[in-house]
Structure 1
Amino acid sequence: MMRIKTMTIKLKLVLLFFGFFCVPFLVLGKFWYDRSMETIEDNAINNSQQLMRQMNYNLDVYFSDIKKATLPLLTQPLVQQFVKINPSQQYDYYDLSSRIQADLIPNTVYNRDDIYGLSIISLKGPYYSNIAFSDRVAMYRKELSENNKDNFRILGISKTVDGTEVITVFRRIIDNVTYVTAGYLIIDLSLNRTTNIINQAQLGKTGIISIVNTDDRYLYHPDSDRRQQLLPELYKSRFKDMNSPYFTNGSGAGKTIVAYNRSASTGLTIVSEVPLRELMEDLIYFRNLTLGFVLLLIALAFVTILSFSLSITRALSHLMNLMKKVEMGDLSIRAPLRKDEIGSLNRGFNLMLEDLNRLIDMIHISHLKEKEMAIHQRESKLQMLQARINPHFLYNTLGVINAYGIIAKVKPISQMTVWLSDLFRYSIDNPEDTVSLAEEIQHMFNYIHIQKERYQSLEVDVDLDFDRLKDIHTLRLTVQPIVENAFIHGYENYLIKPEYIGLRASFDDSGVKLLIIDRGKGMPPELVETYNHAFSFMTEEQMLQESAPFGGIGMWNVHSRLRLEFGEPYGLSIVSSASSGTVVEIRMPYRKEQSVC
């Protein structure tokens, strides 16, 4: 409740508009759309089921007609004689075949345009066919011997020698004397009559109708490659439930309604598959049209209702925005003058800003005086510190220490004093002065010598061409901070005695790549990635800052100085870093008057 009270007037009006107008309307529209979808789906299923029943009835009528037309052939004398003939009686075999071809075939096959061929298979071995199909005899014998319970069965679609697709059915021939099975009558039916029955129905633009045989294979499918193929497992399991002769396949835009009907007479199952999106095209069109009209009405109502509130809240919002700018420090703004209650608020706001500006000016002058005094104090302290740390005083002191070391014949003290003196003298010079890389390396050796005195086991591996290093341009204090970084972060932070420092140099057209190698513990991969990303994509503004974006300032200082002085691609990059050590690369250019040898 407290949250509602703290809302702006504009937000409250918007919430009221959407809560009492838009949301109920959208919920009602959603309910109407869902119910329409369910109704369309139910109607599509009912229509498909009715169509499948009608098509199955037509097929039953057609195959019943085939049964009646071929029934006399089962008792026809020539057929009865053929199935009883002994295979060794070659003359009788050819005589009967000729008589069947001359008398039986014209009256049966040529009088019907849907019977393509007629064949007789005797269980004793002989066979006859008015079309060439000898390669199918063995297959039919095996098929019929394994499924010999039916008197009439549709075997499926096959191709004749000339490539014509036919529906093959068989009828059992009973011996009229012994009343046992003597052979089979094979009838090849033209596919046209069946396709004509199927094509009488139209299921949308892409809907298909197929026929499934009793062995769960496609007897007919618009896609000829799928004929005689097994049904998908989903279809086979659903076809077993005849109490619910439909189901949906797929989801979303690819959802399909599958309806089926099985004939009790032939055992054939008619299957229709209709994409749901085709059934919904008109509904979706009217839904979009209605939705557009509703959205237009909502927009007009929204503009009309809010126009009044905006006239009030706009001035308040403007004043609130001015206050936010004042909070951000802009005191030069002024609210517009009006002749109403809001105008009185604006005048009070402007007077408040004028008073604030006057007080700020007074405070600013006071702060300036305090800062001037603080600056004078800091300058005095700095002069005192500079007087205490006089370079000449330090040089003289180091010289005295060196003299004592020589007198006492303690060579390490003398050497370390000299190295420290040279190191200090080199460091206090202007760090932005350019020097040769050979000179910078020589300065770095002063630091290395001191470290070798601390760590006697330290191995220094140097592979450098000092003559070529004299041609390389760099800044003071470029190499020594990176080497010192290796001692501190590679060894000392892990409480490991430094054991190895290596320097390698390779030259190319742009200058030199100096590699500094240690065998410390290395850095985590994410830190290496952070360093290299910062080195590659640092901006000039970041280079001028004293702090580094990743924490430490040593490597960042060296890289930013090189990049500002020489530009890309010069600077630092971390070549590799792992538990076995770290390799840092420094790229530096040739002197301008030099070229690559």
Structure 2
Amino acid sequence: MRNSLRTKIIVWFIGTTTPLVIFLFYSNYYSMTVLHNQISNSKSSVLYTFVSQADRAMKEASNYIYKYLDKEQDIYLLRDYAKDSDEYVLNQVSITNKLTKDIGFYNTIDAFFVYSQKNQDLIFAVQDTSMEITRMINQEIPRFVQNISPEKLKNWQVVQTATGYAIVKIVSVNEDIYMGSWINVGTMMAPLQDNKGNVDERYYIVSDEGQILSNDEWLISKSETLPKMMVELADKSYQIMKDTENKQNYLVIGSKSAWVPISFISVIPEKSLLQNLPYFQTALYFIPIGSLLILSVYLLFLRRAFFLPMTNLMNGMRKIAQGDLAFRLKESRVDEFASLIGSFNDMISQIKHLKIHVYEEKLRVQTAEMKHLQMQINPHFYLNTLNIIYYLAALKDYKTVQKMTMHLAEYFRFIMRNNRNFITLEEEVRHIRNYLEIQQMRFPDVLETSIQIPDVYKTFEIPALIIQPFVENAIIHGFQKRGKMFRIHITVAPDPVHPEQYFEVRIQDNGVGFREETLTYFMANDSSIDAGDENHIGIWNVIRRLKIVYKGQAQIKLFNGSDGGATVQMRFPFIKESQNKGEDERV
């Protein structure tokens, strides 16, 4: 599977597209970083300008307070007069007129004030003379002055009012009199709001502790993340704030004031900065999915145009290798595969015809070999019989010679009349009886034979002269102890392993048995052995004929019995006479 063409194409496609996708993501990240830096630098410059203006206004207000305390004496006289005296009232009017006149030079200052803690009297001048501002000044300044700690005097402080937040500077004139300046956060924010270049951009003033100095509900909902963000803004030019509600990112840029613990921050939606880039970002995330879809479509196309024809071709090769020469591949719509499949089918047809031709030629060769082997047996038996007749004639046993000659004539008459490859077991046994009677005529007192064949097996067919050579071999090679009774037993019985398919023929004698080299030679089961020793040409012919005729279904075993003597055990399949009517023409 790892070396398949399909796997290699997928790996190649992934290996090609993955670096491109990684490069696209990195390019997007780098572009976003550059854009954030550029926007933060631009907005930081704007914020720095406004923070500088606010710091300058607070510095000028502080200088005014100290200058007033240095040059004007009327503020010190408030302590010397009773609150209801004419001198106190005139001094109060003088301070009010002076503050009202001077506040016009400080546009970003909402109020200058003088507060007498002893008399609970507040003198102030405001830019906006509305009742709301006046009421707020009258309520908040006395409360703040009364609650302020000594260590916070002289520094600008952030105070919370009933309506919002303010920046306050208070200077203690003496134990009773205080002078200060008041700036509403809204007044400080006004120039920034008028300078917004983006309708979605928002400006805020936030304390160093992350306290939001405005009533903006949206930013107040993010108050949990602001303290940490304000700390990080001190080291970085910008921060990214994530809104979990609308799933948007915001670019946060800040600039810190040098006179008061506050920072001016700008909050810009990342979407408005990128304009159409979010669509490209979204498309960027779909690129891997699109790549997988393209790969799927591409593989589907390859499957239909390439893999299926290739798989069919490989399956066809496997079927041909298994011997199914009738298999043919279906035609393909792809021209290249159509040509290849056509050539493949033609090749299989030629192989099939060639195999049939080779098989037929092999049958002809086997038939010729079979006839040749059978012709070798016939002269062999004939010569042995003539040899016996010769000895009988030498002994002038003419009656026995006549009987043996009749047996021999009957044998050759049968061969010439039938000329068949298969005969019944009964016919084979009849030939063997004739042969054994001839041998008993030769050795009347020392040769004893017995043949046991059940009637059920008499009609089964076997190759002609397939048993007789072993009987002859027993007489020639086993019968060497002339003074001892030589016995030959031939039995036919069912095969002990597969009695329903095979029967067994056993030829057993009590002679000298097989030599070890003879057993080794014939039991090698090698079809390449030749006739070898001419004394055993009959046995070799039988073994070779069994291999040709039965294709391995028949078996033959040669061994020596435990009490001595040779034993030949032959196994034949059940074949009746009707089953071999056409066999003589085929084999």
The verdict on a shared fold, with TM-score over 0.5 as the criterion, is no
TM-score by length of 2: 0.44
Structure index of larger Rg:
2
